[in-house]
């Protein structure tokens, strides 16, 4: 067979196999037998072996796997991959709807869908072909698992129909219950340890180095959210229906896996329906997701630092286990917060053996009336760490003793303090309490912070005990000879750590600000503060009013920032970090160099929905031109860029304070 004939044959076989694959795995309506499919696939494999230069990266043969991935590349998400706020009660959902109605005074349409218990994934398509698959990771960055995802037969490698040139679709990869049971039977026959549950198995499978092994596991996927600039529909449900036309496996209205409603009653009915029937599904779900259907309204509602305001996840009641409370120990975190932990008689819960569970704080212990020796109820309740949720008082033994909450730090013996309005007790000896010191260092070197390779929690503990480091600034004066004298420290390890420390000098200010560990300043808040104050000195001297005026910065965060800079030790550490070359100022990007900062000194509020720009684009423009984005209207507000459907309360406040309102067009004229 000549090359041109082979090319035509390969194209024909590929197209037919993609169609048969879609019919079988997405529509569940096979058009040929398994044997016929395998014969066609083998023919294609032989042709590709004979003409390797004709192999397409999205060939149906990629479904069987074969590639070995030593390490997964880290990829920055084009759009942050946020998790949803969780709710566990009817009242949480009623409150969610009330919050939305306050911001949007017209009827709101909601979409209810199943919450699949699997691994979140983002799939990027270009010209109708799958080009990249990335895990959630930390929400900002995830792992590129494209080779493994290509083996999942319900995920199309090539699309059909009127798809956009470029877009991203997100969903959940999971392991069907039959596939999970089959895998455990195989492991049992081989005398191997059984897998704990389908979710963990799906997660572990997706990160396997051999795509051939991944292909054999039988992972599946539902897609449930589209992102892109040129989407044809203006609603969430509308775009999912379009995605189905392009070849994606999406939740179907006909099977009541997804449903539209405009009332809290409709939401609660959908939850009640699936609470009864969820165990009939061939895969695991752990709740229901409720989303605002309109994209315009989603944009108007916006996001918090951790989750969208336009969506919420309702979690079904979780499985409980009954066991005995043997003792209580106390952990000290990097902020000095002391957390009581229940040490339990080992018990199986949702496929894992539980020995410890969180007790949260003193109030929770008193509320439960916990005694050592009690029979207690434990559940995971949507958390990674199990928690004690109840006590079987009727079975309390005569020798059971009530728990006396500690008054002094279990690590450094300092008196514990409970601040007004706080649930936790705190050890205030932050510069002399070892878990706080090592916790701050571990936070500083973490991936979302300074991302120092070669260093981990155990190494930090080892260096601290050996006296090599006492604070984060000591990392920049590590002695390689002293490092080599420690156990498990060889030349390669030392060089990796020193290189990681040196590379951290390139980390931008916004990450540094997160890394230094100001209480309540997470990665998103750190970015906001860095963009608004530009350098550490401006932030240090900012007044409470100036801090609060910044968009999304409340009193709690503002007071915490000021408290941090009152501490002489913190000032001294920052001074040493500066001397080491750590970035404490925002660097202008190439596109910002030479841009006239015409909005310098202006505090601007953005409110409403806009035609030419999104709210985020307007805010970025304001920052780029030297202005400050304010979250609320005050006497210092220079003006408000007012779009359609600006909240009536903001409008009233602006009129009362005499703050000028300008339109989107007027703003464009102003900056041009």
129-173 pLDDT, tens digit each: 999 999 998 788 889 999 999 999 999 999 999 999 999 999 999
Q: Based on the domain organization, do 226 and 192 belong to the same domain?
A: yes
Can you give the pLDDT at residue 70? 58
Q: Does residue 290 register a pLDDT over 90? A: yes
The answer as to whether 413 is a domain residue is: no
The CATH number of residue 550's host domain is 1.10.150.20
The answer as to whether 79 is a domain residue is: no
Can you give the pLDDT at residue 103? 85
Q: Based on the domain organization, do 212 and 308 belong to the same domain?
A: yes
pTM: 0.60
Q: Based on the domain organization, do 242 and 187 belong to the same domain?
A: yes
The CATH number of residue 297's host domain is 3.30.470.30
Adjacent-strand bridge partners of 173: 119, 221
Q: Based on the domain organization, do 227 and 257 belong to the same domain?
A: yes
- Provide the pLDDT confidence category of residue 600 given band limits of 50, 70 and 90: confident
Q: Is residue 635 annotated as a catalytic residue, yes or no?
A: no
Q: Where among 477, 506, 535 does a domain terminate?
A: 506
Report the pLDDT averaged over residues 174-186: 91
Q: Does residue 384 register a pLDDT over 70? A: no
3-state secondary structure of 307: coil
- DSSP letter for 310, please: T
Report the pLDDT averaged over residues 231-239: 93
Can you give the pLDDT at residue 541? 95
The answer as to whether 585 is a domain residue is: no
Supply φ then ψ for residue 338, to 5 degrees: -100, 125
Can you give the pLDDT at residue 379? 84
Average pLDDT over the chain reads 88
Can you give the pLDDT at residue 38? 66
Q: Is 359 exposed, middle or buried (0-12, 13-18, 19+ CB in 10 A)?
A: buried
H or E, element range at 44: helix 34-50
Q: Does residue 620 register a pLDDT over 90? A: no
Dist. CA 513–CA 466, nearest whole Å: 28
- DSSP letter for 192, please: P
Contact assessment for residue 353 and residue 197, using Cβ atoms and an 8 Å cutoff: no
The answer as to whether 192 is a domain residue is: yes
The distance from CA 41 to its chain's CA centroid, rounded to whole angstroms, is 38
Can you give the pLDDT at residue 594? 58
Report the pLDDT averaged over residues 18-24: 71
Pairing of strands 639-642, 660-662: parallel
Q: Is 416 exposed, middle or buried (0-12, 13-18, 19+ CB in 10 A)?
A: buried
The distance from CA 568 to its chain's CA centroid, rounded to whole angstroms, is 35
Q: Based on the domain organization, do 484 and 513 belong to the same domain?
A: no
Report the pLDDT averaged over residues 362-380: 92
Supply φ then ψ for residue 212, to 5 degrees: -65, -40
- Put the strands of the sheet holding 603-607 in their side by side order: 628-629, 603-607, 639-642, 660-662
Residue from 158, 154, 152, 151 nearest 125 by CA: 158
Helix 198-206 to helix 177-189 angle, to the nearest 10 degrees?
80
Q: Does residue 28 register a pLDDT over 70? A: no
The answer as to whether 572 is a domain residue is: yes
Can you give the pLDDT at residue 62? 66
Dist. CA 121–CA 525, nearest whole Å: 25
Domains contained in the chain, number? 6
The answer as to whether 410 is a domain residue is: no
Dist. CA 258–CA 263, nearest whole Å: 15
Contact assessment for residue 122 and residue 170, using Cβ atoms and an 8 Å cutoff: yes
Q: Based on the domain organization, do 569 and 608 belong to the same domain?
A: no
* Residue-wise pLDDT tens digits, 479-534: 999 999 999 899 999 999 999 999 999 999 999 999 999 998 988 889 889 988 99
Q: Based on the domain organization, do 12 and 60 belong to the same domain?
A: yes
Q: Where among 402, 421, 454 does a domain terminate?
A: 402
Contact assessment for residue 626 and residue 649, using Cβ atoms and an 8 Å cutoff: no
Q: Based on the domain organization, do 342 and 450 belong to the same domain?
A: no
Q: Does residue 68 register a pLDDT over 60? A: no
Dist. CA 278–CA 260, nearest whole Å: 19
- Provide the pLDDT confidence category of residue 66 given band limits of 50, 70 and 90: low
Q: Based on the domain organization, do 247 and 167 belong to the same domain?
A: yes
The CATH number of residue 637's host domain is 3.40.50.10190
- DSSP letter for 583, please: -
Residue from 470, 451, 464, 455 nearest 583 by CA: 451
- Provide the pLDDT confidence category of residue 407 given band limits of 50, 70 and 90: very high
Q: Based on the domain organization, do 306 and 363 belong to the same domain?
A: no
Report the pLDDT averaged over residues 568-587: 96
Adjacent-strand bridge partners of 141: 76
Q: Based on the domain organization, do 393 and 513 belong to the same domain?
A: no
Q: Where among 506, 524, 550 does a domain terminate?
A: 506
Can you give the pLDDT at residue 644? 83
Dist. CA 593–CA 304, nearest whole Å: 31
Can you give the pLDDT at residue 195? 77
Can you give the pLDDT at residue 613? 84
Contact assessment for residue 214 and residue 149, using Cβ atoms and an 8 Å cutoff: no
Report the pLDDT averaged over residues 407-427: 92
Instruction: Point out the least confidently predicted range of 592-601, 616-625, 644-653.
Output: 592-601
Percentage of the residues of the chain whose pLDDT score is greater than 90: 54
First to last CA, the chain: 64
Dist. CA 344–CA 339, nearest whole Å: 16
Contact assessment for residue 39 and residue 171, using Cβ atoms and an 8 Å cutoff: no
Can you give the pLDDT at residue 537? 96
Dist. CA 112–CA 263, nearest whole Å: 11
Residue from 602, 584, 524, 520 nearest 554 by CA: 520
Catalytic residue among 62, 115, 297, 619: 115
Dist. CA 146–CA 136, nearest whole Å: 13
* Residue-wise pLDDT tens digits, 623-660: 888 888 887 788 889 999 998 878 777 888 888 889 99
Residue from 152, 179, 151 nearest 65 by CA: 151
Q: What b-and-e string marks burial along 145-181, b requiring 16 or more CB atoms within 10 Å of the CB?
A: bbbbbbbbbbbbbbbeeebbeebbbbbbbbbbeebbe
Q: What b-and-e string marks burial along 63-94, b requiring 16 or more CB atoms within 10 Å of the CB?
A: bebeeebeebeebebeebbbebebbbeeeebe
Q: Does residue 251 register a pLDDT over 90? A: yes
The distance from CA 616 to its chain's CA centroid, rounded to whole angstroms, is 20
Q: Based on the domain organization, do 98 and 247 belong to the same domain?
A: yes
Whole-number CA gyration radius for the chain: 28
Q: Does residue 450 register a pLDDT over 90? A: yes
Which structural domain range is residue 612 located in?
Answer: 603-671
Dist. CA 544–CA 558, nearest whole Å: 6
The answer as to whether 422 is a domain residue is: no
Contact assessment for residue 577 and residue 569, using Cβ atoms and an 8 Å cutoff: no
The answer as to whether 412 is a domain residue is: no
């Amino acid at each position: 067979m000549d090359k041109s004939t082979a090319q035509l044959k390969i194209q024909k076989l590929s197209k037919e196999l993609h169609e048969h694959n879609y019919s079988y795995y997405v529509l569940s309506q096979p058009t040929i037998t398994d044997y016929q499919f395998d014969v066609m696939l083998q023919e294609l494999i032989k042709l590709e072996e004979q003409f390797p230069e004709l192999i397409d990266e999205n060939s149906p043969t990629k479904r069987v796997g074969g590639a070995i991935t030593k390490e997964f590349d880290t990829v920055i998400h084009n759009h942050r991959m946020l998790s949803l706020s969780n709710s566990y009660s009817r009242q949480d959902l009623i409150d969610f709807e009330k919050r939305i109605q306050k911001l949007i005074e017209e009827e709101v349409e909601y979409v209810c869908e199943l919450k699949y218990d699997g691994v979140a994934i983002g799939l990027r398509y270009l010209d109708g072909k799958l080009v990249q698959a990335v895990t959630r990771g930390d929400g900002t960055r995830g792992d590129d698992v494209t080779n493994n995802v290509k083996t999942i037969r319900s995920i199309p490698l090539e699309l059909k129909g009127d798809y956009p040139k470029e877009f991203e679709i997100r969903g959940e990869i999971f392991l069907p219950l039959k596939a999970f049971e089959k895998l455990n039977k195989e492991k049992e026959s081989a005398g191997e340890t059984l897998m704990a549950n389908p979710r963990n198995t799906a997660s572990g499978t997706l990160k396997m180095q051999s795509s051939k092994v991944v292909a054999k596991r039988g992972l599946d996927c539902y897609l449930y959210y589209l992102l892109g600039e040129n989407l044809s529909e203006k609603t969430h449900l509308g775009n999912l229906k379009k995605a189905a036309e392009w070849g994606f496996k999406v939740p179907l209205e006909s099977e009541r896996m997804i449903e539209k409603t405009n009332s809290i009653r409709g939401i609660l009915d959908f939850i009640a329906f699936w609470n009864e029937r969820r165990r009939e599904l061939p895969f695991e779900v752990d709740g229901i997701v409720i989303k605002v259907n309109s994209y315009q309204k989603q944009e108007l509602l916006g996001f918090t630092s951790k989750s969208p305001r336009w969506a919420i996840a309702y979690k079904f009641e979780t499985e409980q286990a009954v066991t005995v409370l043997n003792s209580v120990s106390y952990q000290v975190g990097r902020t000095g917060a002391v957390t009581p932990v229940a040490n339990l008689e080992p018990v199986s819960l949702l496929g894992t053996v539980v020995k410890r569970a969180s007790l949260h704080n003193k109030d929770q212990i008193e509320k439960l009336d916990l005694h050592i020796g009690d029979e207690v109820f434990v559940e995971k309740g949507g958390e990674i760490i199990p928690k004690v949720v109840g006590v079987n008082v009727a079975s309390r033994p005569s020798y059971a003793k009530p728990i006396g909450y500690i008054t002094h730090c279990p690590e450094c013996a300092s008196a514990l303090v409970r601040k007004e309005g706080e649930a936790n007790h705190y050890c205030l000896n932050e510069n002399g309490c070892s878990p706080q010191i090592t916790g701050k260092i571990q936070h500083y070197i973490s991936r979302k912070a300074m991302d120092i390779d070669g260093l981990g929690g155990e190494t930090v503990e080892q260096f601290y005990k050996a006296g090599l480091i006492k604070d984060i600034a000591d990392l920049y004066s590590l002695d390689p000879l002293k490092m080599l004298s420690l156990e498990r420290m060889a030349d390669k390890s030392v060089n990796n750590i020193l290189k990681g420390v040196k590379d951290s000098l390139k980390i931008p200010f916004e990450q540094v600000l997160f890394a230094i560990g100001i209480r309540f300043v997470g990665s998103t808040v750190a970015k906001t503060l860095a963009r608004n104050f530009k350098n550490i000195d401006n932030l240090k001297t900012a007044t409470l009013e100036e801090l609060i005026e910044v968009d999304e910065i409340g009193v709690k965060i503002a007071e915490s920032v000021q408290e941090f800079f009152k501490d002489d030790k913190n000032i001294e550490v920052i001074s040493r970090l500066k001397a080491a070359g750590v970035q404490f100022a925002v660097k202008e990007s190439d596109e910002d160099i030479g841009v006239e900062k015409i909005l310098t000194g202006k505090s601007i509020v953005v409110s409403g929905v806009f035609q030419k720009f999104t709210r985020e684009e307007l805010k970025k423009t304001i920052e780029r031109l030297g202005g400050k984005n304010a979250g609320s209207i005050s006497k210092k507000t220079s003006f408000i860029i007012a779009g359609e459907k600006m909240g009536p309360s903001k409008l009233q406040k602006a009129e009362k304070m005499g703050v000028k309102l300008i339109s989107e067009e007027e703003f464009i004229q102003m900056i041009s």
